[in-house]
Amino acid sequence: MKEEQFKFSGHPNFIEWYQCYDDLSSKVWLDGMELKKYAEFWDERAIAKWNFFYRPFRAVVGRPQKKMINERRKAIQVCEKICDEERLAISREQERIRKAVSLLTIWLVMATIAAVGLLFLSKWLVLLPVAGGVLAFQKFHEERGDARAHIFHSEAVLSEKSAKIEQNRQELNILGQEIEELLKQIPRIVESPLVENWLTEELAELECVCLSEFLSRPIERTAISEYILQDFGDPRVRGILVDSWGLLQPFSQEGPFGHEGTGLGRAQHALEDKIGTWQAGNTGVPYFRLLFLQYIFPLEKNLNICSFFYDFVTRRDYGKRLETFQYNHITNYSIREVELEEPWTEDQGLASMARLLQGKTPKAFTIAVASGNHFRCVLVDEEIVDALNEWLKNEEKFKQLKSELEVEGTVQPNERARLEQEMADLVRQNQEIHLRSGRTAKAMLAHIRDSVGEYIHKFQMPA
């Protein structure tokens, strides 16, 4: 069994365990355990797409080790302070011994002179300076012994703390190596044009799948024009596609048998805190992990609509809904301003995104039929793009990180410049989401209404 933790720190040796992943929709750092859990079941494309959406930020990688590094740096500072104090104490005691030696020498010289002088008076008087010399020597011995005891103690403390310093420095080196090993695991991020190609390819494949379900037989891409007679001008698909951000859609809507779930609840259960994930492309195009797709097929005798939520990473769909309507049963196509539902407000990360969307008036494209049933898709329109651009300029997560690191003391003076550069490299403040003119609500309504109307006039009206 492969060892999955560092021997020294005891923390996992794979980067996915660490909360260092930057999800634009969240104000907190996420871990990569979803990737760790499913990587062996996903193909290379799914893994590359996951890495495109969730990107480790170098300054946050290995934060548990950085905390341990901070603890050892503080321990070294404390030990160095104690070592300085003990060296000073040793110097004081050594000076104390030197003074005691000097004092003893003076006493012995004076005692000798006194003894010589008193010897001429009486030999018994010589005992007085001799006794004084003995007392002086005894006091010197006590003073020197006490000083040496203090020196011995200080040297022992100095040796212990020096060993601690060396041990902590070695551990700093080990922890630094652990962080470097984690940093080496940061994947190469694919460019957004490749992601765009993947999305276009998958949208085309999904169109074939949806049309096959209506016709009850497999339909190849090359044969799709046999059933969809008109090219509606969307380079991604043969029919008509209304696509949007899954997070904007309602949890339920009115159906032929009352309120019914749209599939967003199932998607939220599967994706959890990643339901709102999005990423900004190099050309200003937003990419959403959870998409809401509506394929509209004007077939020979009826209008067919296939709608569902689609996880772009795992290629799983949720809440697929297929409906067929006679053309004369369609009552209207409309664009209406709607109020966003907020099913994600209990999640603190997505609550920030929800607050950002408050006050916005997104628009929903709706197709209604005579039975009262309808299809609705809340669009990524100008209001939503404005909210995303406001979010890109929000550096709260990075400001909080910098503040935390400085308070913890893990940012050394020579590291601060590197951290600031890494934050600047994200250039969020210079990124901007752009809405393609053909994707505005007004343009979308006109396109679908005119496309279906032209189809009916061209292929359904009698000659």
Cα separation, 171 vs 192, whole angstroms: 41
Q: How confident is the model at residue 94 (pLDDT cuts 50, 70, 90)?
A: confident
Three-class DSSP labels, 338-372: CCCCCCCCCCHHHHHHHHHHCCCCCEEEEEEECCC
Identify any residues that bridge with 5 across adjacent strands, giving them in sequence order: 12
Give the residue among 93, 75, 74 at the shortest CA–CA distance from 155.
93
pLDDT of residue 59 exceeding 50, the answer is: yes
- pLDDT at residue 385, as a whole number: 80
Q: Are 254 and 322 in contact (CB under 8 A)?
A: no
Give the model's confidence band at 211: pLDDT under 50 very low, under 70 low, under 90 confident, else very high. very high
**Structure confidence by residue, pLDDT tens digits, 297-338:** 888 778 888 999 999 999 999 999 888 888 777 777 777 777
What local confidence, expressed as pLDDT, does residue 463 receive? Answer: 42
How many angstroms separate the CA atoms of 427 and 430, rounded?
A: 5
The pTM of this model reads 0.81
CA dist., res. 391 & res. 55, Å (int)? 17
Show the DSSP H helices in 43-126 as ranges: 44-53, 63-119
Torsion angle (degrees, nearest 10) of CA 64, 69, 74, 78: 130
Q: How far is CA 190 from CA 40, 46, 54, 157, 440, in A?
A: 20, 12, 12, 56, 28
Q: What are phi and psi of 12, to 5 degrees?
A: -55, 145
pLDDT tens-digit map of 27-48: 888 999 999 999 999 999 999 9
Backbone angles phi, psi at 230, to 5 degrees: -110, 140
Q: Are strands 302-311 and 252-255 parallel, antiparallel or unpaired?
A: unpaired
More confident residue, 432 or 284: 284
* pLDDT tens, residue by residue, 345-402: 444 445 656 666 776 777 777 777 776 667 778 888 777 888 787 777 766 666 666 6
Whether the predicted pLDDT of 108 surpasses 80:
no
| Every domain of the chain and the residues it spans | 63-183, 192-381+435-460
Q: Looking at the DSSP assignment, which residues form a beta bridge with residue 284?
A: none
Which has the higher per-residue pLDDT, 444 or 209? Answer: 209
Q: Has residue 447 got a pLDDT over 70?
A: no
**Cβ-Cβ contacts under 8 Å for 98 (sequence gap 6 or more):** none
Closest among 259, 253, 446, 247 to 365, alpha carbons compared: 446
Give yes or no for residue 117 having a pLDDT over 70: no
Q: Compute the distance between CA of residue 118 and CA of residue 330 in angstroms, rounded to an integer.
A: 138
